[in-house]
Copies of this chain bind each other. A is one copy, B any other.
Amino acid sequence: MLLTRASEYALLSLDLIIKNDKPVGSEQLAKELNISKSFLAKILQNLTRANILVSRRGSQGGYGLNKEPENITIYDIINAAEGKRATVFDCISHDCPNGAIGVCSISPFLARFQFKIDNYLKNITLKELFDE
């Protein structure tokens, strides 16, 4: 699978955050989504570090959007949530039988495929995703 639960939880959380004016706490989000609070908190921290969310600590704190939904791409959300690029297949992290990375018989295909996916995700904004 290309995506893990981190991306799923990130997108579902963002949907709820958009619908609120005030900051939404991780506990509230976890409760509404029926998922683990601790795990969700990690993901929200990643989104905050990526400047997709802003966090406010303390009482009445929580998370809010840092940009307008039309200025946040799905590409950015997924990569932030996953903590790394969502890749088709990572030749580099394995030891390629071919030795020479990026020049085997299938690497041109993999590169084009990855490019296609990246472009697709870069051209969808958070606004579009929930506006249908």
Contacts and interface: CB of A to CB of B under 8 A. Distances in A.
B109 A124 contact: yes
B89 A12 contact: no
Number of copies: 2
A108 interface: yes
B90 A106 contact: no
Contacts of A113: 120-121
Given A105-B130, A129-B106, A130-B105, A1 B120 contact: no
Nearest to A8: B89
A2 to B, nearest CB: 4
Nearest to A9: B97
A1 B87 contact: yes
Given A8-B89, A11-B109, A74-B109, 7 more contacts: A3-B89, A8-B91, A12-B106, A15-B106, A34-B97, A108-B132, A117-B117
Interface of A: 1-5, 7-8, 11-12, 15, 33-35, 74, 87-91, 94, 97-98, 104-106, 108-109, 113, 116-117, 120-121, 124, 129-130, 132
